Amino acid sequence: MQTYFFILAALLYLACAFLPSERRLPISLGIVVGWILHGGALLSDMFAAEAIRVGFAVMLSATLWISVAAYWLENRNFTLDSMRVLVLPVAAVSVVLPSIFPGNMIVLAGKSDWFLAHIAVSILAYSTLTIAAFHAVLMVLQESRLHTRPGPAAKNGWFAIALDRLPALLTMERLLFRLIGFGFVLLTLTVLSGVVFSEQLFGTPFRWDHKTIFTMLSWLLFGLLLAGRRWQGWRGRTALSFTLAGFAILLLAYVGSRFVLEVVLHRVLT
């Protein structure tokens, strides 16, 4: 049953991604229905009696589920309709991935209460920084659009028109740093819970593995960006480059490494 819900949610996301901007009500309702189906199927798929499913596909799907909600809420306050074509197709792909790559179940018996808290905070951190990365891509496109604006006789598609309707770049930049600041706090909590409660969470002492190293590198990049913004006034291309680089490294920390281990090397992890 979850598979059908996943497929229906993916189809709704795709339909809403490419509907004309003028159809605001059908788009908004379609996203909400798709998000509910996505969340319900994900919840029933991830959790069983005294066990939780983990894996790159499940975690990516959960991350995009929260990112869709963040986009929907953000779009209520600001005109960010052009972000639909960035967020929703990626979310549609992430919806069906758990059906193809199910990951593995981890028994919760004997696990610390911090285990689920660590996973929840991690997903929230990844989700916030994912929407920040989409936001940064949108700013790159917006800036490029400003520098190469066509003449009045040129025909523009709906996406180009949606880019023109975005808030001013300075407003977009303030939104970006608000997202990065919140995501950095959550990522800090993720790192601290992983370091301090490693043995309680995973049954092993703290280890400097690839996941830890990539996570710390991403944390350092986002921290450096926020410090540079605060004391050096970093903005524009510098801010966008740091954001996208930090997100790419964070993506490698869990999703990329789990994909290689589960799909390429066919290793089942606990």
Per residue in 236-264, pLDDT tens?
Answer: 888 889 999 999 888 887 765 555 555 54
Asked whether the beta carbons of 43 and 132 are under 8 A apart, the reply is no
Asked whether the beta carbons of 93 and 60 are under 8 A apart, the reply is no
Nearest to 219 by CA among 253, 177, 178: 253
Asked whether the beta carbons of 90 and 63 are under 8 A apart, the reply is no
Give the span between the Cα atoms of 63 and 263, in whole angstroms. Answer: 19
**173-230: per-residue pLDDT in tens?**
988 999 999 999 999 998 888 777 676 656 666 667 777 888 899 999 999 999 998 8
Which pLDDT belongs to residue 153? 43
**pLDDT: is 112 or 242 the higher one?**
242
Q: Any idea which residue has 């193809």 for tokens?
A: 100
Asked whether the beta carbons of 219 and 225 are under 8 A apart, the reply is no
**pLDDT: is 124 or 168 the higher one?**
124
SS3 content of the chain, % helix, strand, coil (to 5): 75, 5, 20
Which pLDDT belongs to residue 151? 53
Q: Any idea which residue has 């949610």 for tokens?
A: 9
How does the average pLDDT of the chain come out, rounded?
82
Q: What backbone phi and psi angles, to 5 degrees, belong to 78? A: -135, 155
Task: Give the tokens for residue 247.
Answer: 């997100």
Task: Give the tokens for residue 225.
Answer: 């960006």
268 pLDDT more than 60: no
